[in-house]
Amino acid sequence: MKFAELNLESRLLKNIENLGYKEATPIQEQAIPHIINGKDVAGLAQTGTGKTAAFVIPLIERILLGQKNPTELQGEEKERYEQRAFKDWKGNHFVMILVPTRELAEQVQENIQKLTVDTGLKAFAIYGGTGYDRQKEAFRNGLQFVVATPGRLIDLYKENVIDLKQVRGVVFDEADRMFDMGFKDDMSYLLQRIPRERQFLVFSATLNFDVLNTAYQFGADPVEFNISRDQTKAENVRDEIFHVGDNEKPLHLLSVLKKYKPQQAIIFTNFKVNVERIAQFLTENELPAMAISSLITQAQRTKVMQQFKAENHLNILVATDVAARGLDIKGVDLVINYELPMDCESYVHRIGRTGRAGSEGRAFSLVSDRDIDSLSRIEDYLKHKLTIGFLENQDLLTDFKPFPRYNSGSVKRSPHAQSEGGRDRRPERSKNFRQREDRGPRSGGPKEPRSSDQDQHRNKRHANTNGKHPPTSRPAGEGSSKAPHAKAAHGAKSHAHKEQRHPKSAGSSHPRRDFKRQAPTLKKQTSMKQKVVGFFKSIIGK
């Protein structure tokens, strides 16, 4: 289907043509006719298939028609208004687009701006990590599209900056990712406060029961379609795995990059503290690389993405799964998984960063013993074995600077201490612990022998807990005659101190002996109680 066949508003069609769009992708072909006629939609499609344009184009068409006065329309234009327009559209109405990450919010905003040139429609990205002032100012000036992460949007709502009653359409982009990231309650909070009479659109890369259940729970009646039912991953991506040792990964990473010389490459790691180490390793070996994860500020993340998208020598990006979903970066021709992701669907999203818009892409994964379980899950999900690749000896570098240690520079924690999206609640380790951690986890091997100091401490603790009182609390002359003189002196000092605190026990050798003298009294009282109980039992028995 060609966009010219959709009979779109002239300004919108011109912007589409200026962007070079002629033929609609499969998801656009299925989604646009339903959305443009006001239907709710639930679309399932892989990344890189044009999902953003699939909902942005028809929503722009509906808003542009809704801004017109129906009494002034005639003929075909009036018919288009009746079929497509947001009815009774007012200046304070807007469409709300919810996304899981800040980078995706920026990307969707950019796409809307390109498609709304000369239309007067405005969009703004709302997300955390930046100041509130510009975002509040944008709302005061009026917006037709609000692209937001749920948390910051709720903050602005509670400050009465945004009126959710003015929402006429809501879009969940990468909805499955939002649920995975724990935004389900936030999404429900927002849906409870927007009108029931609004268009509901949800797009997801994977089928998620919670997503559809939420849609139905809040009154949506979506037209469902799945254009990727028989296609688990992008068909234009050639993916292979290298079976390597964990300590061989840096060598293979560097060798692959220098062999294939990618135009743009993304390297994925599971651990945010590993991002800087990998980027540092590549940069020190004459392959300038940039790092992006949640450890850096939003301003830094924005700058990194701008530099990576620009045409310059900074063509390698090291990232966690923050960058795996939704980002449309043209020109990425190589993806490397430094570790396989725990989630098999994340594998599809990672390698989906390449091979976009019909171009060919390559993806390599470095698989060590620690990745075997993940490999099994991924192959079960894909329903086929991944191709095993290898590098020839001449392709393996022999001279390169070593991979940074965990405790070099600003990196002081093990990459296993904190993964992306989690919280590191472990206390700071000692230097000896980190060195031991550098050698990797022990699995079933013999335990490390105790030092002599540890044995002495263990024996002393065991001896102290065998008796009721530790040796240091005994008075002088009590206990074994082999006790050291210092210990006996300490016991005497402790006894003297106790006599000062308990003057009633003066004359006695130790308060402990007072306790022994009280023991017969306690026994006598107990015996009397038994006699009384027995007496009453005999009466009741009679």
Beta carbons within 8 Å of 67's beta carbon, 6+ residues apart: 89
pLDDT at 360: 81
User: Residue 295, Cα to own-chain centre: how many angstroms?
Assistant: 12
Q: What tokens does 287 get?
A: 């392959």
Q: Radius of gyration of the chain from Cα atoms?
A: 35
Torsion-angle region of residue 383: left (phi > 0), alpha (psi -120 to 50) or beta?
Answer: left
pLDDT at 325: 58
Angle at 468 between CA 465 and CA 471, to 5 degrees: 70
Query: What is Dmax (Cα atoms) for the chain?
Result: 117
Dihedral, CA atoms, 340, 341, 345, 349, nearest 10 degrees? -80
- Give the C-alpha separation, 431 to 507, whole Å: 54
- Give the C-alpha separation, 335 to 257, whole Å: 10
**Domains in the chain: ranges and CATH:** 3-226 (3.40.50.300), 237-422 (3.40.50.300)
- Give the C-alpha separation, 354 to 237, whole Å: 7
- Give the C-alpha separation, 70 to 77, whole Å: 9
Angle at 517 between CA 516 and CA 522, to 5 degrees: 85
pLDDT at 22: 86
Asked whether 153 and 190 are in contact (CB, 8 A), the reply is yes
Alpha helices in 317-445 (DSSP H): 344-351, 372-382, 431-438
367, containing H or E segment: strand 361-367
pLDDT at 432: 41
pTM for this structure? Answer: 0.60
Torsion-angle region of residue 358: left (phi > 0), alpha (psi -120 to 50) or beta?
Answer: left
Asked whether 336 and 240 are in contact (CB, 8 A), the reply is no
* Closest C-alpha among 328, 330, 350, 354 to residue 341: 350
pLDDT tens digits, the chain, 542 residues: what are they? 889 899 999 999 999 999 888 888 888 999 999 999 999 998 887 666 788 899 999 999 999 999 998 888 888 888 899 999 999 899 999 999 999 888 889 989 999 999 999 999 999 999 988 889 999 999 999 999 999 999 999 999 999 999 999 999 999 988 888 887 788 889 889 999 999 889 999 988 766 677 778 778 888 888 888 776 445 566 678 999 999 999 999 999 999 999 999 989 999 999 888 999 999 999 999 999 999 887 787 778 878 888 888 877 888 999 988 655 556 677 888 999 999 998 887 888 888 888 776 678 899 999 999 999 999 999 988 888 999 998 999 999 989 999 987 654 444 433 333 444 433 333 333 334 333 334 444 444 444 444 444 444 444 444 444 444 444 444 444 444 444 444 444 444 444 444 444 444 444 444 444 444 444 444 444 566 677 677 767 776 64
Distances from the Cα of 247 to the Cα of 238, 368, 397, 404, 537, angstroms: 25, 9, 14, 12, 80
> How many residues can be counted in the chain?
542
The DSSP code sequence of 244-276 is --GGGHHHHHHHHHHHH--SSEEEE-S-HHHHH
Three-class SS state of 110: helix
* Closest C-alpha among 221, 149, 150 to residue 185: 150
Q: How far apart are the first and last CA of the chain?
A: 104
Q: What tokens does 129 get?
A: 């990590």
Beta strands 167-173 and 145-148 are unpaired
- Give the C-alpha separation, 5 to 33, whole Å: 11
* Closest C-alpha among 69, 72, 80 to residue 9: 80
- Give the C-alpha separation, 31 to 201, whole Å: 10
* Closest C-alpha among 11, 16, 160 to residue 2: 16
- Give the C-alpha separation, 486 to 420, whole Å: 55
pLDDT at 416: 37
Q: Look at the block and give the residue holding tokens 């009494």.
A: 71
* Closest C-alpha among 488, 486, 489, 513 to residue 502: 513
Q: What tokens does 513 get?
A: 């002996």
Asked whether 494 and 473 are in contact (CB, 8 A), the reply is yes
Amino acid at 229: R
